[in-house]
Homo-oligomer: A and B are copies of this chain.
Amino acid sequence: MRIALAQLNPTIGALNHNLEKVKNHYQRGVERGADLVVFTELALPGYPPRDLLNYKGFLDQERKLITNELMPLTAKTGVPILIGANQRQGIRLYNAALLLENGEIKSTHLKTLLPYFDVFDETRYYTRCTERKIEVLGDLPTAITVCEDIWNDMDYFNEPLYDLDPLKWLFTQGARLLINLSASPYHYGKHALREDMLPYLAKKYNTAVIYLNQVGANDELVFDGSSLVYNNRGELLYRAPADQEELFFIETDDLFKPAAQTAPPDRDDIGTIKQILEIGTRDYFVKTGFKKAVLGLSGGIDSAVVAALASEALGPENILAILMPSPYSTEHSLEDAKKLAENLGINYRTIRIDQPFDTFINLLNESKEPELDLAEENLQARLRGLILMQISNREGYLALVTGNKSELAVGYSTLYGDMAGGLAILADVRKIMVYELAHHINYIHVKKVIPERIIAKAPSAELRPDQKDEDSLPPYRVLDPILELYLEKNWSPSEIITAGYEEETVKKVVKMVDTSEYKRRQAATCLRISPYAFGAGRRMPIARGYDYY
């Protein structure tokens, strides 16, 4: 049997657009001799459809397209389709895999394990299915599963999240092939985890494994494709690309003999992070209908890295950098910013903010002189935000936010100022990793695109004379690990202190994080690369007490 697998990049809610993709790939699969064409989880709605699932009309329309468009194809060609779809039963909704064959729904496989943590809300929409049956495809008894269904092996995981393991039921029924329709977003470490867990399952159950994942970004989530095929020895037969759609084919005979050659497991590194951020940027623009990006270029490292990533994702011709020096900007920052823009080949304009700054000092300060207080630092940032938004609104650019995760975590940023914009590319990247990205970007280009001085100088917001980040914050080599423990691993302050971090520093950092939640509530969409990013996956009260340290 020849199975075609379509790793596609759907747009959320664009049922007709996604249908066209599915039909095209089905056609190509059939033309190239497939006996079955497989698609990912919720292939027509795209994943995650979120509250669109509250609209009965949306669900009806999805089902209509399956019934009127896809089912007839399988009758015409005789080649079945396996596809992820919503399945309503009375007032209950299930996340399902449908096997379409000869113009009918031959079988329905309802998801059992519904992820409910971090960015996932499946228990908000779906009912879990507590009974699963195998399907015979060709002559192969097959376990057809949807995403999370395979992620609860009670031997593999120390603390399985669910009481149930549908794989146990399915392999007890004699399955020899495991097919998993996924829409699984990236976070760091995920490649390594997948390529460890999947061969484990292959060996445990003596089963071949076909793992088909969605590709492309939807808002903050980057789905990294990288679909995988293993034979029943757990040897890797195929890995699809992380950044593009692909239709690939598997002969089922190959699934049960030794691999001709095999590759080591993929481990994600800084290059993966760069790729993920570029996919996230590209797709946010494509799917919101924007072509061009505008950003403020300060001469600092964050905006330099954002400019470099955006140039790669959207093409340098689509990037406009605005250099907005204030009375407190240094000359070298302006030079560095220009140099960077030239290296990247992006357009730039210089718009000094001295004049509007003076206007506001005149308007709002009784003394008519700057007071050099925090409010005036914010004022400068907001004047820049206002200029970017004016260019965005007038000329059709989408504004990029350049702040990093360390800053956003401790609230070292200005609401409506440097936080203004539609997409925050680095808002899940801690400062130290921003440096790694900068080094990596320079390493892969023959020419160093990011001027050395941008990387070498001490980080500064340049909002008052001689300001340095370390005037207000612990050094990033101390701050970043504390943030990781507190934000991504949910350690309590006392546990972090016990692990060896200075008590005063930990308390200061935790307090800064907790009291700046209101800023993050109004932050732009933030591309997610960590297991616990700011955005849909973080649900923290704003008005709260802080006395549990």
Binding site for B on A (CB under 8 A): 11-18, 46, 48-52, 54-58, 60-61, 91, 116-117, 121, 123-124, 159, 217-219, 283-284, 287-288, 351, 355-356, 359-360, 362-364, 373-375, 378-379, 382-383, 385-387, 389-391, 393-394, 415-416, 420, 422, 490-495, 518, 521-525, 536, 538-548
Contact = CB atoms under 8 A, between A and B. Distances in A.
Contacts of A55: 490, 492, 548
A543 B288 contact: yes
A536 B121 CA distance: 12
B420 A416 contact: yes
A492 B159 CA distance: 42
A310 to B, nearest CB: 16
A390 B539 contact: no
A50 B49 CA distance: 22
List the 9 shortest-distance A-B pairs measured between CB atoms, nearest first: A14-B545, A57-B492, A287-B543, A123-B123, A375-B394, A416-B416, A375-B393, A13-B544, A12-B544
Given A351-B364, A364-B391, 19 more contacts: A12-B543, A13-B544, A13-B548, A46-B544, A57-B491, A117-B124, A284-B543, A351-B363, A355-B359, A356-B360, A356-B363, A360-B390, A373-B394, A374-B393, A378-B393, A379-B390, A389-B415, A518-B525, A525-B542
Given A116-B124, A541-B219, A57 B548 contact: yes
Contacts of A540: 50-52
10 contacts: A14-B544, A46-B544, A55-B492, A55-B548, A121-B539, A218-B541, A355-B363, A356-B359, A375-B390, A518-B525
A547 B416 contact: no
B548 A15 contact: yes
- By CB atoms of chain B within 10 A, which of A16, A364, A386, A536 has the most? A386
A493 B57 contact: yes
Contact of A12 (B159, B382, B545): B545
Contact of A124 (B123, B363, B378): B123
- By CB atoms of chain B within 10 A, which of A48, A219, A523 has the most? A219
Contacts of A522: 522-524
Nearest to A159: B91
A123 B15 CA distance: 29
- By CB atoms of chain B within 10 A, which of A13, A283, A383, A387 has the most? A13
A49 B420 CA distance: 29
Nearest to A386: B382
Contact of A547 (B15, B385, B490, B492): B15
A382 B18 CA distance: 38
A518 to B, nearest CB: 6
A17 B525 contact: no
Nearest to A60: B492
A543 B218 contact: yes
A57 B494 contact: yes
- By CB atoms of chain B within 10 A, which of A16, A61, A541 has the most? A541
Contacts of A51: 538-540
A492 B373 contact: no
Contacts of A382: 386, 389, 416
A129 to B, nearest CB: 13
A359 to B, nearest CB: 4
A160 to B, nearest CB: 9
A358 B355 CA distance: 11
Nearest to A546: B13
A506 to B, nearest CB: 12
A545 B490 contact: no
Contacts of A124: 116-117, 121, 123, 539
A421 B32 CA distance: 58
Nearest to A126: B116
Given A283-B543, A542-B219, A54 B490 contact: yes
Contacts of A542: 219, 288, 525
Contacts of A386: 360, 379, 382-383, 386, 416
Contact of A356 (B16, B287, B356): B356
Contact of A56 (B415, B420, B492, B539): B492
